[in-house]
Amino acid sequence: MLVQEIKENLERLEPSMAGFQAETIIAQLIDGSKEANNGAVDVESQEFGGFQIKTLVEKDLQKKDARDPAVSGSFTQMIDFYKRRNEEYNYIIILKSRTKGIYYFYTFVLSFQDFLDKFELTGYKKEFKGYVPPEKFAQEKDPKKTFEEFTEVLGNYFNPNNNNIFIPAFAPTTSTTPDDLLNRFNILKFLEKKRRLIQGNEYYSLDTTYSIKQSYVSQIFRDKSTPGPGTTFLGELDLRDEVLKNLREEYKRSLTGKMFEVLDSLKDSVQSMNRYFATTEPYIGNETVTNLNTTSNKFSSYFLKNEETQ
């Protein structure tokens, strides 16, 4: 059932949804939990730390359009992880081969410094300049309160003498902390909220989803034998129909495979028994006895063969 679920997930869903589903499967396997934030879903457990699962397609790694990144997630969720844990963030990548049914598994880690160097977020890193005309403040329900809010939230980025706003371009250093990133983010989100007041920035908006630089993602998977820096090739999963068919036939011939014949028969017995107690129809009672005899015979056959094997 697990193999079938993984196969259906990887073959039928588009990459972002496949990654979402894969996280759910892994969360169940490791007794983890899903944490949603702005639509992005991570799987997290105390044992394994934070990680995300992404499903990519080989041909997509050749894309040059930076606006269509292969690996992305919630910016605030990522920053919150680095604030709470002094650990690297783990990505598990399922790369769909051009050959249908074959999947390559990679993992790579991002330290906080790596993230600083490699993340992209539209509008976050750019310089911001603005000006609030006095008449804009005057039009507010509470002009004084709004002015004080600009002063309090923006701090040194707002000049109360001339109402000018200036936020320099983002220039991280080795001393930059997660709180520094989050503070800048909150300031920019405040400007987005107040954009109606800011001359020349009426349409300013700030995305909440980061992406990893496409140039970095592409080099991670350039070669299975020598993947990119900080990357490990975990292995290959072959779920081609012809491979699974052969495995299924071999499995059915094994004693463990025979066990499912007993379970299927038992299910039929229980279902017919339930119908009998619900209806008390004699023919259903006879059907139940027959099913129970069949189950008993199948189990005896399985048990005796199992004893001989041992």
166 and 238 fall within a common domain: no
Q: What is the DSSP string of 241-270?
A: HHHHHHHHHHHHHSHHHHHHHHHHHHHHHH
pLDDT in tens, the chain (310 residues): 667 777 777 777 666 677 667 767 766 665 555 554 444 444 443 334 455 666 666 655 555 543 444 688 889 988 988 988 878 888 888 887 878 888 888 888 888 998 999 999 988 999 999 999 999 999 999 999 999 999 999 999 999 999 999 999 999 998 999 999 999 999 999 999 999 999 988 889 999 989 888 778 777 766 677 777 778 888 888 888 888 888 877 777 765 666 777 888 888 888 899 889 888 899 999 999 998 998 888 888 776 665 555 5
- Within a domain: 39: yes
pTM above 0.75, yes or no: no
State which residues form the domain around 50: 2-122+210-242
Cα three-residue angle 16-30-26, rounded to 5 degrees: 15
- Within a domain: 247: no
47 and 111 fall within a common domain: yes
169 and 303 fall within a common domain: no
47 and 140 fall within a common domain: no
Q: Give the total number of structural domains in the chain.
A: 3
Distances (CA, A) of 297 to 32, 167, 280: 41, 80, 25
- Within a domain: 248: no
- Within a domain: 249: no
Provide the phi-psi class of 172: left if phi over 0, else alpha when psi is between -120 and 50, else beta.
beta
Q: What is the pLDDT of residue 70?
A: 63
Q: 230-257 burial, b for 16+ CB within 10 Å, e for fewer?
A: ebebeeebebeeeebeeeeeeeeeeeee
53 and 200 fall within a common domain: no
- C-alpha 69/C-alpha 54 separation (Å) is 12
Q: What is the pLDDT of residue 168?
A: 96
